[in-house]
Amino acid sequence: MTRKEISENEPVDARFLNKSYQEAMALTQDVAHYFEEQYAQPHNYRSEAGDEIFYASESLRISSCLMHVMSWFLVQKGVAAGEITREEAGAPKMRLGAKKICLVDVDPTKGNLPTALMHFLEKSQNLYRQVARMDRMVYGEIEDMDTNPVHQLMDRIQKNDGLD
């Protein structure tokens, strides 16, 4: 793995980090509110089983993106507070993960997905890309680590349900 030398003199700009964190938190809250509303209403617009599976899969993708982004921000806050070192934060398990899950190109014509869900998917993927750039700037490139069993299961579901 190639890693950029990490120096205490090169912290992530606190104002930029805080602003990005606030944007991520706002998006996370908006998505949570959207899902709460969706689950409270009948879902008559998705009549086929394949549509239901696709909706669930893309909902999980949004949640995964946001979970990984928020985890990354919390690690950076830990560095800023002196709770962990920058070197500890640069360990593979602390880095931004799930790239293969979060950045899949989704065909908007497939699965009869609501416009709002597609909007949140696009916003969460854009946020993930922004944080991935910050992660690479601070810690350098990282090897592919997407061997998480949950990610493997999501890959299998997508391959086996005929949605690919």
Give the pLDDT of residue 43.
61
What residue segments make up the domains of the chain, in order of their start? 14-160
Q: Return d(Cα 164, Cα 160) in angstroms, integer.
A: 8
Give the pLDDT of residue 47.
60
Q: What is the pLDDT along the chain (164 residues), one digit of tens a residue?
A: 334 443 444 556 788 889 999 999 999 999 999 999 988 776 655 567 778 888 889 999 999 999 999 999 999 999 989 999 999 999 999 999 999 999 999 887 887 889 999 999 999 999 999 999 999 999 998 765 555 666 667 667 767 655 44
Q: Return d(Cα 112, Cα 60) in angstroms, integer.
A: 16
Under CATH, domain 14-160 is a member of which superfamily? Protein of unknown function DUF1465 (1.10.8.930)
CA distances from 86 to 19, 25, 67, 75, 125 (A): 20, 23, 21, 9, 25
The answer to whether residues 18 and 77 touch, using CB atoms and an 8 Å cutoff, is: no
* Cα atoms in the 13 Å half-sphere on the side-chain side of 84: 14
Give SS3 for 85. Answer: coil
The answer to whether residues 86 and 79 touch, using CB atoms and an 8 Å cutoff, is: yes
Give the pLDDT of residue 28.
97
Q: Return d(Cα 3, Cα 162) in angstroms, integer.
A: 39
Q: Return d(Cα 131, Cα 125) in angstroms, integer.
A: 10
Axis crossing angle, helix 49-80 with helix 115-139, rounded to the nearest 10: 30
The answer to whether residues 6 and 88 touch, using CB atoms and an 8 Å cutoff, is: no
